[in-house]
Structure 1
């Protein structure tokens, strides 16, 4: 005769499953931040790709653990809507950047030492930034983390948690922000205080960006608008930096 598990047993097993999933998510976040630090504090060729590799492996493991394409915002039913939103976002952001470049006082904000030449800016915008930044970060934050949290928490809580993590994610990458950007260094300085203000500003800005990305992901059900906005800000921004240098 088949034994039917008692409700208390099923409840205990559900609790254990949730605790195990949270531990797994925390472990992933720790690995992510370690990968980000490794990428920025080492100068090996392979370390440039460590976040990309981490995102790829984490995505495979997440699917193996039970997440579905819809949890990533990659469900087939969302493709058409996602493409419409993504196209609109890119057009609007690129147009806004073009207008800003035409205003001399705003042009200095685009002066980034990393993108002084147009060929390198184009390579970065269409190859390196998508593969090393945009796709990995969106898969990790708006895919795995947000998708996992939405299964267990309210939308507001899930979006808020991933936004805070996204802001903290940029602490390391913002360490040299004021030194490499003339517009920011002119506003807050390049000393210790300027560096701290640059970090706080970057964390606050990217945290708020994380809310926008999370809202887009939930509103459209698609990861494509998030990818589009992230690329438009970073990729189009890199090309804009090159043009800003050329325009003097």
Structure 2
């Protein structure tokens, strides 16, 4: 009998497969290694790591008996997911435009890391680094494979909680210098070690909350393309606005 989305499934796939929880453990090990590599090496090595890790993660899901539906990539859901993605990209664009134009919120979009960014580098970040190096891996990992694996045995609530918490922890390394990079955050947290720690904690909590939203978009649309669209828009358009406000 076909299994419905979110239904509980056995934790073992038999002698030719791996159980759900061992699969989750393998996924966590792969993500930990990828996080360290991508924090150490950016550019082409980081992109290659993201692509290879994404393929391996989908392989783990498959080995655990998962399907394209578990990953949010069932062919029948892609058109609906694309419509969601386009609508969300448009919404983020409007929010960013208004926020950048209003003096009261403009400083929230300023970032010292963009001071020496060229137009070509901006395009590479928006069209390559963000969609491949960030969105592809993070969505496949957290809203695709992890969400799909945990939902099989614990349901949607647990899948959302586990995926979102781990998504927040994934951002510890990228957030280490956040307090000094963004003027608005420096004003709040200062430039001390304590301020840096608070900024990292805030980033983890914020991204975990964002993970809940991404999971809900995945659930409602039935497709990984919806959170992918929002994720790309928030990151890529953030680069664009930060570049224009230098």
Alignment pair present for 1:66 and 2:59: no
1:107 maps to what in 2? 106
**TM-score, normalisation: structure 1:** 0.86
The 1:43–1:100 alpha-carbon spacing in structure 2 relative to 1, beyond 3 Å, is closer
User: 1:84 maps to which residue?
Assistant: 83
Aligned residues: 235
- Runs of 4+ with >6 A deviation: 11-19
SS class of match (2:24): helix
Alpha-carbon distance in 2 for matches of 1:49, 1:185: 33
**In the aligned structure 1, how far is the partner of 2:14 from the partner of 2:100?**
54
Deviation string 1:27-85 (CA, Å, 9 cap, x unpaired) is 22122022202221356852453233212222234334432111111112212221221
Instruction: Summarize the alignment of residues 96-245 of structure 1 with structure 2, pairs less than 5 Å apart.
Output: 96-116=95-115, 117-245=118-246
Structure 2 unaligned spans of 5+: 1-9
CA gap 1:75/1:93 in 2 versus in 1, 3 angstroms: same
Distance 2:87 2:44 in 1: 35
Mark the CA change 1:188 to 1:17 in structure 2 (over 3 Å): closer, same or farther.
Answer: farther
1:86 CA displacement: 0.9
Higher helix fraction (1 or 2):
1
Q: Which residue of 1 aligns with 2:4?
A: none
Q: Residue 21 of structure 1 corresponds to which residue in structure 2?
A: 20
Spell out, residue by residue over 1:158-187, the C-alpha distance to the aligned partner (whole angstroms, 9 max, x if none): 111100000111011100111211221122
Ranges in structure 1 where 5+ consecutive residues have no aligned partner: 1-10
How far apart in 2 are the matches of 1:52 and 1:63?
A: 17
How far did 1:218 drift? Answer: 0.9
Tell me, in whole angstroms, the C-alpha distance in 2 between the residues paired with 1:146 and 1:105. 38
* Structure 2 counterparts to residues 17-56 of structure 1, below 5 A: 20-42=19-41, 46-47=45-46, 49-56=48-55
Shift of 1:219: 1.1
Distance change (3 Å), C-alpha of 1:104 and 1:157:
same
| Contact 2:51/2:137 (8 A) holds in 1 | yes
With normalisation by structure 2, the TM-score equals 0.87
Check 1:217–1:167 CA distance in 2 against 1; reply closer, same or farther (3 A cut): same
Greater Rg, structure 1 or structure 2? 1
